[in-house]
Structure 1
């Protein structure tokens, strides 16, 4: 893919480049779930955590899922592995790793937690999502849980850092939400918004970004 204003070079595809960008993440374990909700969330909101996995393949990509059409929340939508905490989870990292193991069979020993993005608030469903960013070993494998996941796929890093790739809907039922191009899957809503935040992080501070960047 040719990227306008943000050229992909050999450096862009290296592990060291990714690690440098992800070093700007917030610490992943700043608080425990029992204190997170009462201190930070209004009583009408719900907590959730998702794993944002970047696979260290020859051409890195972000791992995404399409949820089963039978699920209660966000059925059939593209998402990251994740969900609500349970009593066994000490923090958002525990929740994200447990959910990823349940949904896509991801071995937590092949996951390197890098940090967290800012919390993301959804609209209608009233969730506050904690996005936990991780690097996955190129040897990691995954398989879909038939009850929860309809498909597992990747968004290439080349697309993620392309400032022309995401689109912000200005009108209609999706007004104010982002979407990302993919030949098979409809990436929009909270997942797309989290991807925009990750893309901005990898582009670097505003003064260091090259030519064109994602709009604020």
Structure 2
């Protein structure tokens, strides 16, 4: 499947955004790895100690530092800082659509493949409560797509979210995941 995803992403032209005024750029990594039962995606449950996105399920990643040469580097650096995955252990397969978040970041998601399993995760206890290794087949199953109701500025909105056990993958992470799953439909 790794080769099929690589080919899909190489042929894909991600949507780029340039908000006005500019927003802080951030990079995240949708990280896949092979394990018994098929490919899995790595998510992290954020602690309540972080400034942004407390307690949410997210992809590893974060805001671009002034010394980062590009946003891809940011995604890999942040993944290393948050969950201990060395950049040399990741093959970046491609990029998904840019996304502007309600927390006012311009997020660029990358898709990567971890070159080994099992992996010795070392995550930041101040940023990451625990990891979720979610089977790709689980999020592709429409029975795990659930409505997520949110009140924003006094109005109710319903968004798509993904249920995994007691955890809900919602918000920008769910939208990025949806972008990836839409691409994978070409493989069906």
Mapped pair 1:50 → 2:28: yes
Distance 1:203 1:131, change over 3 A: same
Q: Which has the higher strand share?
A: 2
Q: Secondary structure at the match of 1:45?
A: coil
Shift in alpha-carbon separation, 1:74–1:172, aligned structure 2, 3 A? closer
How many residues are matched?
Answer: 181
Taking only aligned residues, the RMSD between alpha carbons, in angstroms, comes to 2.3
1:136 aligns with 2:120: no
For the residues of structure 1 that align with 2:6 and 2:104, how far apart are their CA atoms? 32
Query: CA contact under 8 A between 1:66 and 1:77: conserved in structure 2?
Result: yes
Deviation at 1:22, TM superposition (A): 3.8
Gapped runs of 5+ residues in structure 1? Answer: 1-13, 28-35, 211-216
TM-score computed with the length of structure 1 as normaliser: 0.75
| Superposition deviation, residue 182 in structure 1 | 0.7
Change (3 A) 1:25 1:66: farther
Secondary structure at the aligned position of 1:94 is classed as helix
Cα contact 1:22–1:202 (8 A) shared by 2: no
TM-score under structure 2 length normalisation: 0.85
Q: Is the 8 A contact 1:161 1:202 kept in 2?
A: no
Query: Would you say 1:76 and 2:58 are equivalent positions?
Result: no
Cα distance between partner residues in 2 of 1:191 and 1:147: 20
Q: 1:187 is matched with which residue?
A: 169
Counterpart selection for 2:39 from 60, 65, 88: 60
- Residues 141-185 of structure 1 show CA distances to partners (whole Å, capped at 9, x for unaligned) of 32221111111111211022224432344x542724221011131
Q: Which runs of 5+ in 2 are unaligned?
A: none
Structure-2 residue corresponding to 1:7: none
CA-CA distance at 1:52 after TM superposition: 0.8
Paired residue for 1:41, among 8, 11, 19?
19
The 2-side partners of 1:18 and 1:87 are apart by: 31
- Specify the SS of the correspondent of 1:178: strand
Q: Report which of the two structures shows the higher radius of gyration computed on alpha carbons.
A: 1
- The 5 Å alignment of 1:44-193 reads 45-58=23-36, 59-123=38-102, 125-139=103-117, 140-169=119-148, 171-173=149-151, 175-193=157-175
| 1:13-52 map, 5 Å | 14-26=1-13, 40-43=18-21, 45-52=23-30
